[in-house]
Each structure stands twice: as structure tokens, then as C-alpha cells.
Amino acid sequence: MENVVELTNVTKEFKDFSVKNIDLQVKRGFVHGFIGANGAGKSTTIKMMMNLLQPDAGEVKVFGMDYKTHEKAIKERIGFVYDGNVFYEGLHLKDIKRIVAPAYKHWDNALFSQYVEQFELPLNKAIKNFSKGMQMKASLAIALSHHAELIIMDEPTAGLDPIFRRELLGLLQEIMLDGSRTIFFSTHITTDLNRIADYIAFINRGKLVFNNSIHDITENYALVKGRTELLDRDTEKAFVHINRLSTGFEALTENVTAVENTFGDSVVIEQATLEDIMFHMKGGMQHV
Amino acid sequence: MFNLIRRDFILQKWQLLLLIFIVLFFVLIDRQHPAFIFLLASVIIPINTLANDEKAETNILLNSLPYTRTEIIASRYLGSIVFIILATGVTSILLYVFNKPFSITDIAISSSLALLLLSFYLPMSYIIKPGYNFPVALISFLILSGIVPPMVSYLSEKFTSFTDFILKLSVPTLYTSALLLGLAFYGTSWCISSLIYRRKAF
């Protein structure tokens, strides 16, 4: 399977935060969700994919090319959406198009007009007077109008109401239909991903915890609930993280068979949601 | 890259119109030296452009589009020259129309000073934190205008041989060398800005 984006051993250090040894592959033709808590390193990773930040060590390749020699060729094929508005806020959408369109060789005016109509966007209104949802739609219309093969989005659903979020996800599904497109987007709203993502990459405290297909994740992880008396030094080994409550314990495991062998019928094993995994992983790194 | 320069025209269509009125105002009140009007007209738009460009969002946008960082800086420097030429043209026309005398010397002085000012201001704007550009420019301008004239007169008295040498130069030679010196500063400044911008994180 061809990789559209490949991060190899990428490290970026800041004064009080770092992203360390990230190995991440984004496969062509799939929707990739990128999850992690606030401040886990999602935006930093995305910025390195876009060459807004250069890694201190490691390699970033997009479409098999590196930014040093092929910056323009790479960006020509990427559509981007950021969580805030990056367009000149005082300008009308019409003027923003006049600025952005000539940058791309494959800009498609007819396609842009089609999206403007579909999203009901006003051309003669300043971007700053758009609602958050409309700004997002405007970014998306621009990102989709130059036949980009890779759409990179940083928190596109943040601050949007549930109805609009669902509309957006439907739209993303629609643009995936032709099979050649790849979407990589970060979010901390995990329910968005259950609907459309094929792969999930999870970053925690600057480290990539996993990058697996949604199918593998639901198979590999499970939530285990039982009485606290069942836990001792040996049985605890089966868990990534344990949350002790007065009513019993709730724990995340990466090894469902081991848990079944150890505890048998004395515990309840449930499918872990992405949110369960995020919650326990974040705690797990601290305590166990 | 041509598109990046065109972008400034789209962004500042109203400011360009305003510029004409400002120049017209100074031409009509007839109190300022033509060289000053030329200089003012030359630097207003390039400095105003930087006010747009210092925003983080603008840099994220430009760097996400298929442009290299070298091109972004090049467009800024070439664009400023385009604006200087344009402003000089417009000012000349207005001065001519209202029958106010001016000479090539005025243009030579104003253009070299504009180049010199921008040579310092452009790289500075890529180092200073967004939002602080204008106050820093204003304060340094005030300090410089306080320090430089006494310093120059002090130096010219101390180094009379150098002053004599300059005074002996013919007027065209003097202003051509001033313009060339301005361009040399501008070129160096361009290289420095490129280096700074290449390492910037957004």
C-alpha cells in the first residue's frame, strides 16, 4: 500500500514541550484520524507535515518527496484546513479566491463556484463576518477546488455545532468516493472518527502510541470491569491502566485473551471506545 | 511569485487610492520639499504591507500555498521596488500637473533613502514580535532623527578630507552612487531576511 505521508523518526523540541521519534505513515485512499488530548502534539505534527515547522531530527516525506527540493510540487497537491481562519479576515471571499487561485496550477474555478453554491457562501461579505461554520466551509471550498490528493485538516470540527459536524463528515465521505483522495485530520472529538475514519493515529505527550486501522483497534483493546478484590500485583499486569472506583475497577487492556484466561467470568469485558482508550492511555502513562 | 505581488494590490486597493490623495494633499499645500513627498509616497505602501504580513495567520496561509519561503521574501523585496517606482511615477505626474518644480535629484535622494529605510525595516519586521513592529519603527525613527544629524555634522567636521572628497564629486556621480549604495544595502538586507525567514516557525 502506497504511503502519501511518511514521517520517520521525527523529533521536534521546544522549551517546555517536545514531539519525539514519531514514525507515522498515511496511506493513500483512506481517511486517517489523528487523536490526542490538547497539547499532545497534534498541531506540531501537522505543522511538520506542512513544512510550517522543520523537525530537529528525522525525515518528513510527502508523496515520496522531501520539502527541501520539492516544496512547491508537494504543496500543489495538498489542500489544507486549519482550525482558525487563516485568510485575510477583512477581504471578501471573492478576493481571497483571487489571491489563492493563481497559486495553484490546477485551480478549478467551476468546481469552486459549485462548492460556493453548495455551501451557500456569500462571495461579497468579509470573512470576519462569517460564522465559525461558514469560515470552515469557505476554507474547505478553497481546499477542495484545486484537485488536491491529500487533504490535511487541523481540528476542522472544533467549535462547530453537532449538526454542522455531521454535515461536514458526510461531505468528507462524499469527496472520498473517487478513491484517489487521502484525508488526514486531527480532532479530539472521537465520535467523529467512528463515523468516517479508516485509520486512527493516537499521540500522547509527544509520542505516537499507535497508528492502526479502526478494526484492529476495536479488536486489540477492551475495557474490563470487575471487583477491586480481584486485583493484585500479578493480575494487574494484564492492564494498561486501572481506574479504581468505590464500586469496583475499570481498566484498559491490550491483551484480551490474557484477561480472559486470568479472570474468566469474574469480570465484564466490553469493547473500548476511542475515548476510553484516550482516557486510560493518558492516565496510564502516569501511573503504571 | 508575480501572484504574490499582485496579492498586495488586491489587499491594498483602497490604500493605493488613499495614497494618491495623501500625495495630492502634500503637493497642493506646497510646504514640503519634493524629495520629502517622493520619499513619503515611496515608503507608505511597503510599510503598510508589512502590517498585513506580520500576522501569524498570513504566514501560515502563504507557507501552506505552493510557494517557497525564498519566493515569499523575494516578492516582498521586488514588490517594494514596484511600489517605489509606482509612487514616484504618481507623485511626478501630480507635481507636473500642478506645476510644481522638481528635479531628478529629488527622485534620486528619495529613492535611495526609501531603499535604505526599507533595508533596515524589512529584516527587522521578521524578527520583532507581531504587533510591536510599528512602535519599534516609530521609536527608532525618532531616536535616529535625534542622533544622526548631529553625528553627521560632527563627523564632517572631524574628517574634512572625506567631506572635501564628497563635495568634489559631480552631482550626477554623487546621486548615482547614493542610489547604488541604497541598492547594495537593499540586496544585503534581502539576503538577511531570506536567512531569517527560512528558519522561522509558524
Q: How many CB pairs under 8 A join A and B?
A: 58
A75 touches B at CB < 8 Å = yes
CB contact under 8 A, B57 and A98: no
A86 touches B at CB < 8 Å = yes
Instruction: List CB contacts of B174: < 8 A, sequence separation 6 or more.
Output: B166
Candidates B61, B62, B200, B202: best to mutate against A (most CBs of A within 10 A) is B61
What is the C-alpha separation between B25 and B107, in angstroms, rounded?
19
Residues of chain A with C-beta less than 8 angstroms from the C-beta of B64: 50, 52, 75, 78, 80, 86
Q: Are A193 and A214 in contact (CB under 8 A)?
A: yes
The 10s digit of each residue's pLDDT in B37-54 is 898 888 888 888 887 787
* Average pLDDT, rounded, for chain B: 85
Is A118's pLDDT higher than 70? yes
The 10s digit of each residue's pLDDT in B100-117 is 888 888 888 888 888 988
CB contact under 8 A, A50 and B63: yes
* Average pLDDT, rounded, for chain A: 89
Residue A286 confidence class, pLDDT cut points 50, 70, 90: very low
Q: Helix, strand, or coil here: A91? A: coil
- Intervals of chain B under pLDDT 50: none
The residue-averaged pLDDT of A189-218 equals 88
Instruction: List CB contacts of A117: < 8 A, sequence separation 6 or more.
Output: none
CB contact under 8 A, A86 and B67: no
ipTM: 0.86
Residue A213 confidence class, pLDDT cut points 50, 70, 90: very high
pLDDT at site A287: 41
The 10s digit of each residue's pLDDT in A93-103 is 999 999 999 99
Give residue A44's identity as a one-letter amino acid code: T
Residue of chain A whose alpha carbon sits nearest to that of B65: A75
B51 touches A at CB < 8 Å = no
The residue-averaged pLDDT of A84-109 equals 92
Task: Give the helix/strand (H/E) hosting A71.
Answer: helix A67-76
Residue A240 confidence class, pLDDT cut points 50, 70, 90: confident
Residue of chain B whose alpha carbon sits nearest to that of A88: B58
- The CB density around residue A110, as the number of other CB atoms within 10 Å, is 7
